[in-house]
Amino acid sequence: MIKQHIISHEADAVTAERFRDEIVPGYSPVVLRGVARDWPLVQAAGRSDQAVLEYLLSFDRGAMVEAFVGPPAINGRFFYTPDMRGFNFERRKGPLADLLRYVLALAGREDAPSVYAGALETPGALPGLAEANPMPLVDGLGADPRIWVGNASTVSSHFDASDNIAVVAAGRRRFTLFPPDQIHNLYVGPLDYNMAGQPASMVELNNPDFERFPRFREALDHALVAELEPGDAIYIPALWWHQVDALSPFNVLMNYWWADSPDMAARFDAMVHAVLTVSHLPGNRRDAWRAMFDTFVFKRHGEPAEHLAPEHRSVLGPPTPRLRDYIRGYLMRGLGRP
């Protein structure tokens, strides 16, 4: 089972410069203990859940949000129905203020439904909250602050295309992470039909069915785990798989995703297009295309156009804005062909 704990740094030891120059290039999860301990939101959590509610409501401007609401029987695990024709929860829209009050009112109820609202952009949902609770590690990165609220819940193992800092503001959370190379042991569900936009592992981490998912044992040998208290944060690199368990009756998390390039959002689309065009070929022809990808995409043999003068490298040249526009046009013309 899970044996390894994530590297942890005390907040005082991590400057914005060290974060960008050492931690991000290291491409491994890192816990940042106490990085947000001085936030007014975290200070409110130290007093009571009611204090957190009142603090958040001070920023409320009547925003409407969508929440997942599932029956007690799902035990907080938002997932597919057994036949995979739908999901085991409902999507409900309403005022954020009502949602916050509802979650707090459910605390202590044994028959409480599972309630979760995630990735709410703070400028629209709670304007001014991010400015009052700043995260200097992401200054200048173009990160969008978002807030997640709910009671005890589980978000199954998934990946994000962006790097991420997740800050526990109220309640406790457990993060279980798997390196990207464990994807084949995670038994990933549908790529295009999922709970919240990203594919998720079909394995129930907290109660794995090893007969159905035998390779998951190997994934667990590579898993990392960390439990975070209010004021703690975790850096999760892009494409690291992670399950997030909210452990308290009232939980608030703020996170920051940022893109490493303008092409970030298209990478998954590129993979899906390769699934359509390459994955169904006979094995020897897939191998031939693997050689093409290894050469031009993954550069396993060095720069593929180094034998060409820079002015003749075309799409193999540095990804300048002008070249990006040219390649997008080239691709759109190709995709438009029958």
The lowest-confidence range among 5-9, 101-105, 244-248, 301-305 is 5-9
pLDDT digits (tens, 9 = 90+) for 74-131: 999 999 999 999 999 999 999 999 999 999 999 989 899 999 999 999 999 999 999 9
- Give me the chain's average pLDDT, please: 94
Coil vs helix vs strand at 178? strand
pLDDT digits (tens, 9 = 90+) for 292-315: 999 999 999 999 999 999 989 999
Does one domain contain both 118 and 11? yes
DSSP state of 182: G
Domain end call among 258, 280, 314: 258
Does one domain contain both 191 and 331? no
Domain end call among 220, 241, 258: 258
Looking at residue 264, its pLDDT comes to 80
pTM over 0.85: yes
Does one domain contain both 207 and 324? no
Across the range 46-67, mean pLDDT stands at 97
Across the range 185-208, mean pLDDT stands at 94
Query: In 76-232, which ranges are continuous DSSP H helix?
Result: 96-106, 122-125, 129-132, 216-221
Domain that holds residue 196: 4-258
Three-class DSSP labels, 126-162 = CCCHHHHCCCHHHCCCCCEEEEEEECCEEEEEECCCC
Does one domain contain both 200 and 319? no
Domain end call among 193, 223, 258: 258
CA dihedral 177, 179, 184, 189 (to 10 degrees): 40
Percentage of the chain modeled with pLDDT above 90: 84
Closest by alpha carbon to 229, among 249, 257, 253?
A: 253
How far apart (Å, rounded) are the C-alpha atoms in residues 7 and 29?
Answer: 7
pLDDT digits (tens, 9 = 90+) for 156-166: 999 999 999 99
Instruction: List the structure tokens of 163.
Output: 């790097």
CA dihedral 279, 285, 288, 292 (to 10 degrees): -40
Does one domain contain both 172 and 244? yes
Does one domain contain both 219 and 101? yes
Closest by alpha carbon to 256, among 155, 173, 149, 134?
A: 134
